[in-house]
Structure 1
Amino acid sequence: MATGAGGPRGRGRPRTPGAEDKILAAALEEYGEHGWSGFTMDAVARRAGVGKSTVYLRWHDKDALLTEAVTRHGIELTTVDTGTLRGDLLALAGNLLRHFHSPAGWATIRVTFDVASAHERLGGFSRAVSQVHGRQVELICQRAKDRGEMDPGIWPGVVTEAIYGAAMINSLSERLEGREDDEAYLDERAAWLVDLVLLDITR
């Protein structure tokens, strides 16, 4: 069932095979290029290569579409459970570093900037970003505390800020410097970042 205020307009999922994933990916790419003010359902349909009716069959407006797009991508990225705190943070950091280098990841960064600079509340999609990502880090930290790996007094928000902040800055610097970070570089950065964070939060 689609998320977002008002619920879906019609019944069922898009009838074109594979259309849903294409539409959600296109929505994030479209937002990454044009932001909230320039984002339209018609443009998403064109980018995804589907008819407008296919989009409106599932999502009644652009807020509902973006809410599901950021929620689903966020859950896919952040749902990690390796059995150890270092393993979880390493998987999370690696996923985020790769994500923020992609069109979908750039859309997530742009959502953050748009929400922070808006003079009025944007759509429900803006809440989905912080809720999905923040909640998953809380789960990682709670499991680590239950295993005795993490200082119980550490606030999960500190971990969120460290991991997400570093991943975002890495993406921004790559764009500003015209770099093309490869897989080996991102893996190395993830390990450095996690080891630095662990110095302050482990028991």
Structure 2
Amino acid sequence: MSFTNDPPHGPGEVNSVAGRPRDPEVDRRVLRAAAEVFGEDGWGRFTVDAVARRAGVGKASIYLRWPNKKELLASCLEARVTPVADIDTGSVREDLVQLAGQMLTSFFGASGRATTRLLMEADRIPEVAERVKELRQSQVLAARAIVRRAIARGELKPGTSVTLLLDAIVGGCLNHALATPDDLRGRVGEGLTDYAVQLVDFVLGGVTAG
């Protein structure tokens, strides 16, 4: 596809066709706009036109960077969705509080709506589904390792269900985000650390050894 006759670039954009380097600020604006559009409207209404309007750039400028909207969304998610880090503080309570904190931050952060949308709609987007599957797998392995180490150390009762414990914590974080009205997200977001502690203590109450 040729863009030789594209309309003039918007403010701050760079003419990549002429051999000049891409402007990273335009990339950031487009990826931020893509996360906002996807988070608000979902895949069914996610279009390059909508992203271009939100970012304040020409549509041709987006196509110079990404060949289609699927690749644009994939790049957006890779740039803005943070994987769960491997956590091993030596304390299952602290490990799980940090895990819950990471999950809550991803759900309430600037790209929180895109993250929750992604959990529900990734399978509908072939170019994105495989990348999301890999991300989920790495997160599951990191989370399950926390619980298994705690059982081995004797912090949790033998036979503790890894799946149920993590479902309770991760599900609690997701439900907290989904149940929070838009007009309260800012206020609720200020108390995420306290909520992570309360959630973990509540869940651990039934499985802590001794």
Corresponding residue of 2:44: 37
1:162 pairs, out of 159, 168, 172, with: 168
Structure 2 unaligned spans of 5+: 1-15
1:40 and 1:143, CA in 2 relative to 1: closer, same or farther beyond 3 A? same
Pair 1:99–1:143, CA change in 2 (3 A): closer
Q: Does 1:145 align with 2:148?
A: yes
CA deviation profile, 1:156-188 (whole Å, cap 9, x unmatched) = 544553333212211222117x53434553211
Report the counterpart of residue 98 of structure 1 in structure 2: 105
Structure ranking higher on relative contact order (CA contacts 8 Å, 6+ apart): 1
Q: Sort the Cα spacing of 1:95 and 1:142 in 2 relative to 1 into closer, same or farther, 3 A.
A: closer
Specify the code of the residue in structure 2 equivalent to 1:190: A
Distance 1:135 1:198, change over 3 A: farther
- CA gap of 1:82–1:54, structure 2 versus 1, over 3 A, is farther
Give the match for residue 112 of structure 1. 119
Report the CA distance shift for 1:104/1:156 in structure 2 as closer, same or farther (over 3 A).
Answer: farther
- Distance in 1 (alpha carbons) for counterparts of 2:173 and 2:56: 31
Number of matched residues? Answer: 187
Residue pair 2:169, 2:199 contacting (<8 A) in 1 also: yes
Aligned partner of residue 43 in structure 2, secondary structure: coil
Cα distance in 1 for residues equivalent to 2:130 and 2:34: 17
1:6 corresponding residue in structure 2: none
- Name the structure 2 match of 1:83: 89
Answer whether contact 1:77 1:92 (CA < 8 A) is retained: no
Using the size of structure 2 for normalisation, the TM-score is 0.68
RMSD: 3.5
Q: Is 2:145 aligned against 1:133?
A: no
Identify the match of residue 124 of structure 1 among 102, 110, 127: 127
Is 1:15–1:54's contact at 8 Å kept on the other side of the alignment? no
Of residues 187, 193, 197, the one that matches 1:187 is 193
Taking the aligned partners of 1:63 and 1:170, their CA distance within structure 2 comes to 29
The answer for unaligned runs of 5 or more in structure 1 is 1-9
**1:23–1:55 CA contact under 8 A, matched in 2:** yes
Q: Quickly say closer, same or farther: Cα 1:142–1:153, change in 2 above 3 A.
A: farther
